[in-house]
Amino acid sequence: MKHNKCPLTYALTIVGGKWKPIIISHLKKSPKRFGKLDALIPTISRKVLSTQLSELVGHKMLNRVSYPETPPRVEYSLTDKAKELVPIFETLAEWGYELVKKNGK
């Protein structure tokens, strides 16, 4: 199978990387505003957070709802497609936890 046709590689281009799994994890229980996500992930820059959110919206992993209020309010929530990832990420986190324990990190 060619690298660009690999389903795993394709999936990881959508939800892989340092920040996207963390963003999805923070949204698994309830929608959040940009400022709340920024506060929950203090080591991410606002520009990177904005870019990552836009990419996830573009891939239909997140819903973005803009409310016509002053000041403007925007909320992000998981789509059904992204909700399917939650148990996969939780299993991966458990696996990672065991690796960390075994390696003493």
53's enclosing H/E stretch is helix 46-58
Side chain identity at 28, as an amino acid letter? K
- 25 is in which domain, residue-wise? 3-103
How many structural domains are present in the chain? 1
How far is it, in rounded angstroms, from Cα 91 to Cα 95?
Answer: 6
pLDDT one-digit tens code per residue, 66-105? 999 888 899 999 999 999 999 999 999 999 999 998 887 6
pLDDT one-digit tens code per residue, 17-43? 999 999 999 999 999 999 999 999 999
* 5 DSSP assignment: G
What is the domain-level CATH number for residue 73? 1.10.10.10
pTM of the model: 0.87
Which of 12, 55, 57, 70 has its CA nearest to residue 31? 57
How far is it, in rounded angstroms, from Cα 13 to Cα 35?
Answer: 25
